[in-house]
Amino acid sequence: MSSTTQSASEMDQRALRQRLFEGEDSWFARNRTLVIAFSLILVLLIISGIRQPGFLSLNNLRQQLVLATFLGTVAAGQTLVILTGGIDLSVAWNLNFAAILFTQTIGGSDDAGRIMFATVIALLAGTGVGLVNGLGVAILRIPSLVMTLGMNTVMLGVTLVYTNGSPQGLAPRFARALATGRIAGQVPWALVFWTGLAVVVIGLLKYSAFGRRIYAIGNNPRAAYLSGAPVRLNLIGVYAFAGLTAGLAGILLAGYSNNTYLGMGDAYVLQSIAAVVIGGTSILGGAGGYGGTIAGAIMIVLLQNALQVAGIRPAGQQILYGLIILMMLFIYGRASKVRE
């Protein structure tokens, strides 16, 4: 009797193993990029932990996750845009303008109404920029690279003209709390925010018609159009959402550094693209998701921290950073050969 239960559980195990690892439809095959990305985070943690035990302290890891939140927020919009086969280069100055608009509108006031107004205005500005991007890409069919590059330069100009070169104002208490505060002294508010954002984005991509169409457009815009999907409306929505996340990141960053400055968003263009790609989303669109991007954002932030802790100069950090992106690209697999 005991032998039959044993063999039954053995069979269960085999079936489970089959479902998880074997065949094209197994869990592992479908989530290969996710598994690779999160395993690399583990490897990174182990190596850095051996070299520098302080690296694995709760405090340091918590701090790194907060930093990853900012990148992860920008990269949320970037993920959607890249999934449609586009790219958003306007996040740097869209983010920066939203942040400055936020602090300058508040102007040091403590009035709750004014702070609310400033928040809404900053988010509207971010979304508005995204909307213009979307109109250019969807209606005028300007390549997203050019459209968002132009918008980035325009927003840089708008920011300079608006601030006369020196941004004013401090971040209000709620933004500081959101970026640096902790619940009960333990769980950072930023992480709560990021979790919420992740649930919304992943839910949107997996279960909404809007999200499914993003994949359809990224795979084949013609087929998506011919099957009746409102491609242009969808694209405009995607770019507007990317603008919104840039605005959100602007408010978070303003809260984190307690003020705003010119160039605070510069690093986030390339890093957000890198986070998406390291997370396994195809730069051509149509495949991937936000789960991978989360791993990508954490990996980039951890990597920077690990290289710093290891005492490698910024120059060396840049070289390694580039090489690691290349390595990831090769791991994820190459395009098929052109044959016709």
Partner 1 sequence: MSATSVTSGRAARAGRLGGMGRWVAGNGRLILAFIILAVLLAIYIERVPQFGAREQRSVVNQGLALTTTGFGQTVVVLTGGIDLSVGSMVGLTNSVASRITDSESTSRVWLAGIACLAIGAAGGLINGVIVAYGRLQPIIVTLATSSVFSGIALYVRPTPGGAFPFEATQFWTGSMEFRQLPRGMLWLATLVVLWLVFRRTRLATRIIAIGSSEGAAFMSGVNVARTKVAAYTISGMAAGAAGFYLTAQTGNGNALSGVDYTLNSIAAVVLGGASLAGGVGTFMGTIAGSYTIALIPRVLFFYDVSQFYQQLLQGLVLLGSVGLGAIGVLRTRNRLDKV
Residue 262 in the binding site for partner 1 (CB under 8 A):
no
Alpha-carbon gap, residue 276 to 284, rounded angstroms: 12
Alpha-carbon gap, residue 184 to 202, rounded angstroms: 28
Q: Which of 38, 174, 210, 225 binds partner 1 (CB under 8 A)?
A: 225
Outline where the chain has alpha helix (H). Answer: 2-21, 27-30, 32-51, 58-83, 91-106, 112-138, 144-163, 173-180, 189-207, 209-219, 221-226, 231-257, 266-278, 290-309, 314-332
Q: Which is nearer to partner 1, 244 or 278 (CB)?
A: 278
Nearest approach, Cβ of residue 178 and partner 1 (Å): 30
Site for partner 1 in 137-176 (CB under 8 A): 139-143, 145-147, 149-158, 160-161, 164-165
Residue 337 in the binding site for partner 1 (CB under 8 A):
yes
The answer to whether 244 and 88 are in contact (CB under 8 A) is: no
Q: Which is nearer to partner 1, 200 or 323 (CB)?
A: 323
Q: Which of 15, 112, 120, 329 binds partner 1 (CB under 8 A)?
A: 329
Alpha-carbon gap, residue 163 to 120, rounded angstroms: 19
Residue 270 in the binding site for partner 1 (CB under 8 A):
yes
Nearest approach, Cβ of residue 265 and partner 1 (Å): 14
Residue 186's φ and ψ, nearest 5 degrees, are -120, -60
Residue 267 in the binding site for partner 1 (CB under 8 A):
no
Q: Which is nearer to partner 1, 65 or 295 (CB)?
A: 295
For the window 107-136, what string marks contact with partner 1 as x by the rule CB under 8 A?
-----------------------------x
The 10 Å Cβ neighbour count of residue 183 is 10
Residue 286's φ and ψ, nearest 5 degrees, are 90, -20
Structure tokens at 136: 């250019």
Residue 314 in the binding site for partner 1 (CB under 8 A):
yes
List, in order, residues 6 or more apart from 321 with CB less than 8 Å away. Answer: 303, 304, 307
- Side-chain-side CA neighbours of residue 6 (13 Å): 3
Q: How far is CA 76 from CA 25, 39, 93, 126, 195, in A?
A: 27, 21, 17, 14, 12
For the window 272-311, what string marks contact with partner 1 as x by the rule CB under 8 A?
-xx--x-----xx---------------------------
Residue 216 in the binding site for partner 1 (CB under 8 A):
no
List, in order, residues 6 or more apart from 127 with CB less than 8 Å away. Answer: 240, 241, 243, 244, 247
Nearest approach, Cβ of residue 161 and partner 1 (Å): 5
Q: What is the DSSP string of 144-192?
A: HHHHHHHHHHHHHHHHHHHHTT----B--HHHHHHHH-EETTTEEHHHH
Residue 263 in the binding site for partner 1 (CB under 8 A):
no
Nearest approach, Cβ of residue 319 and partner 1 (Å): 4
Cα 269–Cα 61–Cα 78 angle in degrees, nearest 5: 20
# chain residues binding partner 1, by CB under 8 A? 58
Nearest approach, Cβ of residue 149 and partner 1 (Å): 6
Nearest approach, Cβ of residue 98 and partner 1 (Å): 17
Nearest approach, Cβ of residue 287 and partner 1 (Å): 13
For the window 70-89, what string marks contact with partner 1 as x by the rule CB under 8 A?
-----------------x-x
- List residues binding partner 1 (CB under 8 A): 87, 89, 136, 139-143, 145-147, 149-158, 160-161, 164-165, 222, 225-226, 231-232, 270, 273-274, 277, 283-284, 313-323, 325-326, 329-330, 334-340
